[in-house]
Amino acid sequence: MVLQTQVNTLLFSFFFGMIFSFLLTIHYRFIYHDKKSYQILSTFLIVIGSTIFYFIGIRKINYGIFHPYSAIMILLGFMFEHSLHKYLNKKIAFKKKK
């Protein structure tokens, strides 16, 4: 595989991990709703929508070939966004207390 394609795949996977984490944060209220039907429907829609989006992007970049390092980059992007979210929440909460 060409180096440019590999770099594009890694960047796309990293940013996808960040976007997926952000979507889960936004939809947290629906995923952990009291009604089981809301939980099942919202989880199904988030997972299916995210999966379709990811594989359409990967198909455009490298013809739909999934590599193990793509999964690692998704995980790193997810963890980065989650850490960034916690950090920003602490900073915003700290400024509101002053």
Q: What mean pLDDT is reported for the chain?
A: 89
Does the global pTM surpass 0.85?
Answer: no
Instruction: Please tell me the least confidently modeled range out of 2-6, 13-17, 37-41.
Output: 37-41
More confident: 27 or 79: 79
State the burial class of residue 4 (Cβ atoms within 10 Å of its Cβ: 0-12, 13-18, 19+): exposed
Domain of residue 28: give its range.
3-97
pLDDT at 66: 86
Q: How many separate domains does the chain show?
A: 1
Q: Is the pLDDT of residue 38 over 90?
A: no
pLDDT at 4: 92
User: What is the crossing angle of helices 36-62 and 3-26, to 10°?
Assistant: 170
